[in-house]
Amino acid sequence: MKKSIFVIAILVGLFVAAVAGPAQAQQSFRVQVPFAFVANAVTLPAGEYDIQRQANGGVALLILSKNSGPSAIVMTNAMQSKDWQPETCLVFHRYGNRYFLAQVWTAGDRRGREIYKSPAEKELAKNETRSEVTLLALLSSAKQ
């Protein structure tokens, strides 16, 4: 009897994980980026992208081109703001005419994700002045 209850509990747990996992993986939004940019050492052209937070707590972000162009997966660190974010947005670091994805913020949250710097960005940061560019999301959640 105890073994049957244990097996049922395991099956219920697996079912809940199977249902909840894809729901978490679908946390996404769409953004129009008017310039080429670098994400995880991959140069992505200007265009429309879906940004998806993966089910592993949002540590990894998937950047999908809506035009079947190149995509990227980036690893992130958690970061905290003192203020609630009014809108979902991306923050880019700009060095000259090169843009690097730096942060992702979600509306209604104080927590954001900071993208690890690529070797190219680290090198440029030594020699050039950085400015920041913020782009707002087009939609709060992208349609799959």
- Burial (CB < 10 A; 0-12, 13-18, 19+), residue 142, is buried
Whether 51 maps to a domain, the answer reads: yes
pLDDT at 23: 41
In angstroms, rounded to a whole number, what is the distance separating the alpha carbons of residues 29 and 125? Answer: 29
Number of domains in the chain: 1
**Does residue 126 belong to any structural domain of this protein?**
yes
Q: How far is residue 49's CA from residue 135's CA, in Å, rounded to a whole number?
A: 12
Domain that holds residue 104: 28-136
Summarize pLDDT for 3-28 with one digit per residue, the tens.
Answer: 544 334 343 333 333 334 444 434 78
In a domain, 8, yes or no: no
User: What is the dihedral angle through the alpha carbons of 41, 136, 59, 126, rounded to the nearest 10 degrees?
Assistant: 40
Structural domain contains residue 52: yes
d(CA 25, CA 11): 21
Tell me if 66 is assigned to some domain. Answer: yes
pLDDT of the residue at 11: 34
At residue 85, the 3 state secondary structure works out as coil
Query: What pLDDT shows up at residue 2?
Result: 52
What's the pLDDT tens digit per position in 65-118? 988 788 999 999 999 999 998 989 999 999 989 999 999 998 889 999 999 998
- Residue 114 falls inside a structural domain: yes
Predicted confidence at residue 3, as pLDDT, reads 53
Tell me which of 24 and 60 has the higher pLDDT. Answer: 60
| Residue 4 lies inside a defined structural domain of this protein | no
36 half-sphere exposure, CB direction, 13 A CA radius: 10
What is the per-residue pLDDT for 21?
42
Q: How far apart are CA 143 and CA 115, in angstroms?
A: 24
